[in-house]
Amino acid sequence: MKIIIGSDHAGFDYKEDLLDLFRGEKIFFKDCGCFSTDSVDYPDYAHIVSKEVLKDSRNLGVLICGSANGVAMAANKHKGIRAAIAWNKKTSELAVTHNNANVLCVPARFISRLEQRKIFKAFLNSTFEGGRHKHRVSKINC
C-alpha cells in the first residue's frame, strides 16, 4: 500500500505536516505536490492524485485544500475514486467503513494539524464493512 498525497497552496503546510508523520512512522508515500504556498489550481493536483490512486487498488489518497470541497469534487470525477471530506475522526472512520473511501479530503482552513493527524490515522486504520454497504457503494458510479 502506498499513500498518494497532494494539496493546493492552502493545504501545503498541512501536507508537509503529514509527510513528517509518514516519514516518522515509515509510511510509504508519493508526494504529488504542490511544493510551495504559491497559488495553484486545486483540480490539477486532485486529478494527479486520483490517477495515481487508481494504478493500484491498495493505494489510498489524501488531498488537502482550504475547504476540501474542490479537491473532493475533482477527484470524484474519476471512476473508481471515492473521495470523502472528513473534518473529524468519526467522519473519517465512516467514510471508510460505510463508503469504502479511497481518498481522504481534508479541509485545512477548518481543522488543526493535530486533528488532521487523528483524521488520517482513523482513515488508515479503518476497514470497509461490506455487507449492506457494499450494495450501496456499488451504486455510486453511474
Cβ neighbours around 13 below 10 Å, total: 13
Q: 3-class SS at 86? A: coil
Is 98 assigned a catalytic role?
yes
Is 135 assigned a catalytic role?
no
Q: How far is CA 73 from the centre of its chain?
A: 12
List 47, 65, 78, 105, catalytic entry: 65
Beta-carbon contacts of 31 under 8 Å, excluding residues fewer than 6 positions away, are 5, 6, 15, 19
- Name the strand (E) or helix (H) holding 9: none
List 98, 105, 133, 135, catalytic entry: 98
Residue positions annotated with a catalytic role: 65, 98
